[in-house]
């Protein structure tokens, strides 16, 4: 067999693989990354060699090539990384000139967070720029910063296309549990008819996706803000097997709520069916303010099996461990 025929077959296999990267839609940052491989000549040109080298022999289809490439993010060539990162750097700078803002009377405020995911070309990490409706300047008296009709009208594919990012994800709708908080507020973006300012940056790592964020697995998020749960506030806390205590910060409503916050709190520990070994849940009334100020501007957070969000308490995070 001639070298020309062999080369032609190799190139054909590469282009089949590249074309297959966009065939399976997944609600994941890392998976969505590879959708961009068929969206521009520069991306295809710069990444075709990476596909051939790192995923040679992987049968295209059913997301197999996507999964392979997502597992090799740290090994991609600089040219491929740079091509994939564009035009995300415009979004990555949304927090560059953020200013601190304090929001009072926030207990049980309804909100959503939108995440725009991109690749940081310097670290090669997938990062999610976070935009929260709770930071808007005109929150109504009923504390609903994300009305249901406006949330339901958000077209995620349209948002992704508008900002040219690798992936888009929504957190919530949720209820905010702390009584007041300070937040770094950056550039305001529009999501359908909802506006939300930049408030934080979530580091998803090199192989992470929204689909692989497991319950009860800690994650770090860049955040300089102070958050306070007032003395006397009733909260849900989780104690892990290592002796750490986690306090609920956001209660998950979702687009189709299955229970209310009041019902969840009334059921207490009985809600939880999948706590890791050695963990326990309890409802407590705070005996003092829990003031959170993450050391080094990096907070440690996690979700439970209901996608409620918790912040770690104690040294490095807060002055009080309930």
Q: Looking at the structure, tell me whether residues 147 and 294 fall in a common domain.
A: yes
Nearest CA-CA partner of 194 in 270, 135, 244, 250: 135
Instruction: Report pLDDT for 89.
Output: 54
Residue 318 lies in a domain: no
Q: Are residues 98 and 232 in the same domain?
A: yes
- On whether both 22 and 135 belong to a single domain, the answer is no
Q: Output the 3-class SS for 265-309.
A: HHHHHHHCCCCCCCCEEEEEECCCCEEECCHHHEEEEEECCCCCE
Q: Pick from 35, 63, 86: which residue ends a domain?
A: 86
Examine residue 321 and state whether it is found in any structural domain, yes or no: no
183 and 150 in one domain?
A: yes
Radius of gyration in angstroms for the set of CA atoms belonging to the chain, rounded to a whole number: 22
Would you say residue 30 lies in a domain? yes
What pLDDT is attached to residue 32?
Answer: 47
Q: For residue 322, is it within any domain?
A: no
Residues 244 and 107 in one domain: yes
Three-class SS state of 127: strand
156-167, pLDDT tens digit by residue?
989 988 887 777
Q: Is residue 26 part of a domain?
A: yes
Angle ∠(141,116,192) on CA atoms, nearest 5? 50
Low-confidence ranges of the chain (pLDDT < 70): 1-45, 61-63, 65-67, 69-71, 73-74, 81-90, 124, 204-213
Chain centroid offset of residue 186 CA:
17
Q: How many domains does the chain have?
A: 2
Domain end residue (candidates: 54, 86, 118): 86
Residues counted in the chain: 322
State the SS3 of 167-214.
EEEEEEEEEECCCEEEEEECCEEEECCEEEEEEEEEEEECCCCHHHCC
**Domain membership of residue 15 as a residue range:** 3-86
Residue 208 shares a structural domain with residue 152: yes
**pTM value?**
0.73
Q: Which residue has the tokens 């994800």?
A: 169
Residues 129 and 262 in one domain: yes
pLDDT at 42: 54
Q: Residues 184, 116: one domain?
A: yes
Pair (44, 176) in one structural domain: no
299 neighbors 227 (Cβ within 8 angstroms): no
What is each CA distance from 202 to 38, 180, 242, 309, in whole angstroms? 26, 21, 24, 14
Q: Is residue 213 part of a domain?
A: yes
Domain edge (last residue) among 86, 112, 145 = 86
- pLDDT value of position 57: 82
pLDDT at site 111: 96
Q: Round to whole Å and give the CA distance between 122 and 85.
A: 10
Shared domain for 111 and 25, answered yes or no, is no
pLDDT at 8: 35
Pair 299, 150 in one domain = yes
Could you tell me if residue 27 is inside a domain? yes
- Would you state the pLDDT for residue 157? 87
| Whether residues 228 and 211 fall in one domain | yes
Going from the C-alpha of 319 to that of each of 116, 289, 294, 295, the distances in angstroms are 32, 8, 10, 11
């Amino acid at each position: 067999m001639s070298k020309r025929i062999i080369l032609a077959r190799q190139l054909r296999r590469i282009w089949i693989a590249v074309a297959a990267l966009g065939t399976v839609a997944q609600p994941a940052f890392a998976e969505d990354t590879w959708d961009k491989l068929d969206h521009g000549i520069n991306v295809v040109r710069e990444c075709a060699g990476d596909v051939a080298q790192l995923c040679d022999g992987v049968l295209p289809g059913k997301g197999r090539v996507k999964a392979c490439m997502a597992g090799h993010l740290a090994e991609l060539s600089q040219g491929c990384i740079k091509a994939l990162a564009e035009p995300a750097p415009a979004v990555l700078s949304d927090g560059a000139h953020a200013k601190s803002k304090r929001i009072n009377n926030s207990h049980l405020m309804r909100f959503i967070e939108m995440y725009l995911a991109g690749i940081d070309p310097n670290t090669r990490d997938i990062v999610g720029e976070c935009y929260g409706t709770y930071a808007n300047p005109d929150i109504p008296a009923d504390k609903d910063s994300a009305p249901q009709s406006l949330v339901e009208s958000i077209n995620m594919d349209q948002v992704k296309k508008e900002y040219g990012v690798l992936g888009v994800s929504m957190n919530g709708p949720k209820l905010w549990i702390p009584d007041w908080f300070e937040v770094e507020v950056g550039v305001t973006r529009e999501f359908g008819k909802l506006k939300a300012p930049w408030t934080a940056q979530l580091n998803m790592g090199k192989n992470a996706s929204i689909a692989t964020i497991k319950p009860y697995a800690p994650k770090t998020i860049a955040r300089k803000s102070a958050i306070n749960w007032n003395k006397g506030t009733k909260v849900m806390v989780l104690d892990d097997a290592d002796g750490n205590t986690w306090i609920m910060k956001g209660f998950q409503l979702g687009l189709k709520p299955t229970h209310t916050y009041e019902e969840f709190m009334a059921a207490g520990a009985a809600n939880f069916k999948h706590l890791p070994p050695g963990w326990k849940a309890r409802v407590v009334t705070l005996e003092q303010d829990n003031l959170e100020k993450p050391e080094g501007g990096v907070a440690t957070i996690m979700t439970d099996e209901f996608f409620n969000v918790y912040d770690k308490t104690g040294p490095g995070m807060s002055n009080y461990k309930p």
